[in-house]
Amino acid sequence: MFIIPYAENVHGMETFRKISIWVHDQNRSSGIVHMSKEDLNSAQQSLDDLNDLQQSKENLNNLHASKDDLYIIQQRNADLGNVQQSKDNLDSVVQSNTKLNIIQRSEENLDNIPVSKQELDVIQQLVNKDPGDFHDQDIREIENSTNHSNCSCKPVCKQGEFWLEGMVGCQPWLNCSQIHSQVHVIKYLTKGAIKKIYLAEWQDHKIVSVNVTTDDAGYRRTLRYNFNNFKSLSPNKEVTQVIGYCPGAPHGVLGYPMVLLTQYTSIGDLSKIEEHLTKYPALDTPVFRLAMCAKYAHVLDFLHNSPMGAQILCDSGGLGRLLSQYLITEDLTIAANDLESLKKPKDCFGYKGEFTAPEVRAPDIPNIEDVPISERPPGNVANDIWKIPDVCNHFMGASTEQLSNEIKENLLQLHKQCKNENPALRPNASEAYNSFIHILPDIQIHLDDKCKCTKYNN
């Protein structure tokens, strides 16, 4: 409380008025202060509510932004779907172009396709199809018809070298160290008297690994003889291609095992010819079958006049056994494969049965082993000629279509000559080969080496 002095004059009244105004202002200020303290909590709450309201407004703005973002995402997803559709359309276009290329390639090469007129008509029908009407089966049919052999430009390697599909050039045979570190066995295939045969892999190439069944010195000697024959006759397409060889450690000494690596063929030996033609019906023609007869005669001609002199495969006492000695390569040639039985004619002794020529036929007794080798008649190249009709009849099959019957009728004279009781009157392998061509000159298109290439040669 303020004490106001009594004003005795006008000057004092004026002073009193000023003081009263000041006191009033002070009291009013004091009242405001007291009111703010009382309502402070309420004001603070209002301020918080205001902040919450402001935050809600910001959240609302964010929500609108999120909605806009969602729309953008949806739009992008729609665009992505369009891109995927475009990609699918592009893939479809590429596939159509691929089909068109196959069709065009087939049409351009019609004159060079090694098939019969009937097969050409089938291919022409496929070529005339609209690309949109093509199915995968049509594509496979054209490819099988125009690419009968699985070969590309093949270089001519030197002795001691090999080449496989996809390689830039020839390279030396694999040695023991390379075989041990780079070749991996895939699975067991079969076995013989002295060897086990496996399917193996080298740098993504399937190959064949031949291993001796035991460490027997005689078995090792036979496999070494087999390799030496391959070595002497290489490189020639008439024998299976060597990929590598390891002579192994000496007998009884730990070290690398004895291994011979050769080229793998997915078709198999000559006994599998019907299975192969079933897979590729466009190839199953009388012309091709006759060509196989000529190819077999050609391999015999090579063996009878080889760099090692006249040679014959002795282990061929029956048709099935003979067919297993030769492989059908990927480029549809015939190659001698089991060279451990390759010998000079005088060192090859006869077997029993009509499959063997009369002059070298062993005595008809229960056990041929009972006849001393010195008393068995020696073999000769004419014995191989005697077997040509049996092998050719196997190739020709049981077809009764007109062209097949005509070919078989024309084969009768040649087969009769090959079965002459007098070996001196039988044709040689070269003459048999020429007779096959004379029967139907069209087979020459199956005999040309379409895989041979000169771009790697010196």
Provide the CATH topology of domain 174-264: Phosphorylase Kinase; domain 1 (3.30.200)
- Please report the pLDDT score of residue 395 as a whole number: 95
Provide the CATH topology of domain 271-458: Transferase(Phosphotransferase); domain 1 (1.10.510)
Given this chain, do its domains 174-264 and 271-458 carry the same CATH topology?
no
What does residue 244 show for φ and ψ, rounded to 5 degrees? -175, 165
Q: How many CB atoms lie within 10 A of CB 344?
A: 14
pLDDT < 70 positions in the chain: 1-50, 52-54, 56-153, 250-254, 350, 363-371, 373, 376, 442-458
What does residue 172 show for φ and ψ, rounded to 5 degrees? -60, 155
- Please report the pLDDT score of residue 353 as a whole number: 79
- Please report the pLDDT score of residue 89 as a whole number: 61
Per-residue model confidence as pLDDT tens digits over 224-272: 999 999 999 999 999 999 999 998 876 555 678 889 999 999 999 999 9
Where do we find the tokens 């067991």? 188
Q: CA 74, CA 94: separation in Å to the nearest integer?
A: 30
Q: What type of residue is 316?
A: S
Model-level pTM? 0.65
- Please report the pLDDT score of residue 107 as a whole number: 45
Per-residue model confidence as pLDDT tens digits over 347-395: 887 677 788 888 888 766 556 666 676 776 777 899 999 999 999 999 9
- Please report the pLDDT score of residue 8 as a whole number: 44
Q: What type of residue is 401?
A: E
Domain boundaries, the chain: 51-146, 174-264, 271-458
